[in-house]
Amino acid sequence: MTCCLCTVGQVVHTLPKGLPVKGVTSLGDEVFVLRRKERDQIEVYDVITFRLLRCMTIPNIRGLADITSCEHYRCVYISDNIVMCIRRVDVQTGATTQWAVCDMPSGLSVTKAHNVVVTFHVVRKIKEFSSHGQLLQELALPDDVINPWHAVQLTTGQYVVCHGNEGTDRRDTVHRVCLMNAYCTQFVHSHGGQPGSDIGQYNVPDHLAVDDNEFVFVVDTLNRRMTLLSPTLNYIRQVVSRDKLKWRPCRLHLDVQRRRLYVTDIRYKDGKVTAGRVVVFSV
């Protein structure tokens, strides 16, 4: 179990700078880094030495939005926001399958029952699928949850959802993290509000990680920091500050067993993503 009340992130390692990183996850003794490339989109590193072990190519993939892993099925999932599908990759054989999701997917997570939770920021929905793509449920989010980026289901069946955007075409007045009931119809707790940089505020909360005690790690992208919240979404501390990052954090993954937090650090230039890396923190 992770004792989150005492955690302040310290840099352990930085994986190589290269083409933009779209997500990171781990499975067993390996770390999977998703990069925007025509081939070898998944780079696989040793979790101890951080040595590059191999690369995996996902055929015909066009959009890369997020990656997550499932220990039970020994696979990783990738959301393709152009083809509008989820890719399932067997980490042993590299065999790839896919299923259509009908809308543009963004964040991914895996439930305790080994199902895939997909967040759709444009249509403001959460969909849950089996490991092979059977739609199990579809949840519409309340009207004031605009631009949801990522959702994680807790052991209680409730969902933690982060939402808020600063884009000129879809700018939101509320940037926050919400704990919602199992049907996503009611708010149980929330943290955030008007966008800003003070404690208790966010500027594009983009991605989440939840530990075994249901403490919540939040990527606060434009504030360039990581925030730690209690299971009732009370502010605890800043886990990673902007001085520990070179560019902008966008995705994160928590390895509970090793108490490691993997954070994607993305460089923007002239409004475009031009490079990326993964910074590994001990928590």
pLDDT per position as a tens digit, 232-255: 999 999 999 989 999 999 999 999
All structural domains of the chain, each given as residue ranges with its CATH number in brackets, are: 8-282 (2.120.10.30)
- The whole-model pTM stands at 0.94
Structure tokens that stand for 27 in this block = 């499975």
pLDDT for res 2: 45
The per-residue pLDDT of the chain, averaged, comes to 93
Q: How far apart are CA 186 and CA 209, in angstroms?
A: 21
Q: Give the pairing type, strands 159-163 and 175-180.
A: antiparallel
pLDDT for res 8: 67
Mean pLDDT for the stretch of residues 90-102: 95
- Tell me the sheet residues that pair with 54: 44
Q: How far apart are CA 139 and CA 273, in angstroms?
A: 31
**113-156 pLDDT tens trace:** 999 999 999 999 999 999 999 999 999 999 999 999 999 999 99
All residues at 6 or more sequence positions from 27 whose CB lies less than 8 Å from its CB, including other chains? 69, 70, 71, 74, 76, 91
- Tell me the sheet residues that pair with 77: 68, 88
Closest-CA residue to 170 (of 105, 123, 125, 118): 123
All residues at 6 or more sequence positions from 9 whose CB lies less than 8 Å from its CB, including other chains? 226, 239, 240, 244, 261, 281, 282, 283
- Edge to edge, what strands does the sheet with 21-27 contain? 21-27, 30-35, 42-46, 52-56
